[in-house]
Amino acid sequence: ERTSEDQLPLFKSLLLLFSNVAFWILLFYFAAPSLPGWAIKNWLPTLFADSLNIPMASAGPLSTITIAISSFIGVIVGGILSDRWVQKHIRGRIYTSAIGLGLTIPALLFLGLGQTLPAVVGAAVCFGIGFGIFDANNMPILCQVVPKNLRATAYGFMNMVGVFAGAVITQWLGRFKDEGHFGLGFALLGAAVLLALLLQILFLKPKTLEK
């Protein structure tokens, strides 16, 4: 049931949202992993083909199936672990998400620099699981730091920033490919994820299970 307290004017809603420091951290925390997330969606088959010297007809299905299955596993594991951990520690979802981001960092390095089938496919599996864990906890973490009457607006901005990040990284990696440093471009994305991980651990400190 809606109350007058829930019905905020647009300007006041935006003011409350963007005056929340935790939301700014969430924006970066969402945008930084979106860089490799979109890079994987748009460029992974090409990376597989280049790194493993296999035809695109084989690289496409191999990369897509690897990421899809591992991400599904990550979502299930991340959701179950987060739901249990948050019952014991208020930052359980934060820590679970951090584990997921932590898995993606070495995965990006091996994806970018690996030259053998076990290294590249193993890195893709690690990235998929890590990103799935991260993805499963985005909305639950948002619910801990943003009031319920601002969540749809907040999540909309988070998605918008994520899409913008995807547009930037697609063009950026295209330049790396043209210059012959495609794998290095993937590996460098780990730095952005590491920064998001540090900000998340140091500054996201929810006080309740739900704001």
Looking at residue 7, its pLDDT comes to 64
Looking at residue 10, its pLDDT comes to 78
Backbone angles phi, psi at 207, to 5 degrees: -100, -20
Residues 6+ apart with CB under 8 A from 82: 92, 93, 96, 97, 136, 137, 140
Cα torsion 156, 157, 162, 167: sign: positive
Is 126 within 8 Å of 73 (Cβ atoms)?
Answer: no
Q: What is the DSSP string of 10-37?
A: HHHHHHHHHT-HHHHHHHHHHHHHHHHH
Radius of gyration over every alpha carbon of the chain, rounded to an integer in angstroms: 18
Query: Which pLDDT tens digits describe the chain residue by residue (211 residues)?
Result: 444 445 677 788 889 899 999 999 999 999 999 999 999 999 999 999 999 999 999 999 999 999 999 999 999 999 999 999 999 999 999 999 999 999 999 999 999 999 899 999 999 999 999 999 999 999 999 999 999 989 999 999 999 999 999 999 999 999 998 998 888 998 999 999 999 999 999 999 998 888 6
Is 188 within 8 Å of 179 (Cβ atoms)?
Answer: no
Give residue 15's identity as a one-letter amino acid code: L
Q: What is the DSSP string of 76-88?
A: HHHHHHHHHHHHH
Q: Which residue has the tokens 């030259």?
A: 115
Q: Which residue has the tokens 């829930």?
A: 6
Looking at residue 211, its pLDDT comes to 67
pTM of the model: 0.91
Domains of the chain: 10-203 (1.20.1250.20)
Is 80 within 8 Å of 92 (Cβ atoms)?
Answer: no
CA distance 116 to 97: 29
Is 154 within 8 Å of 142 (Cβ atoms)?
Answer: yes
Looking at residue 35, its pLDDT comes to 94
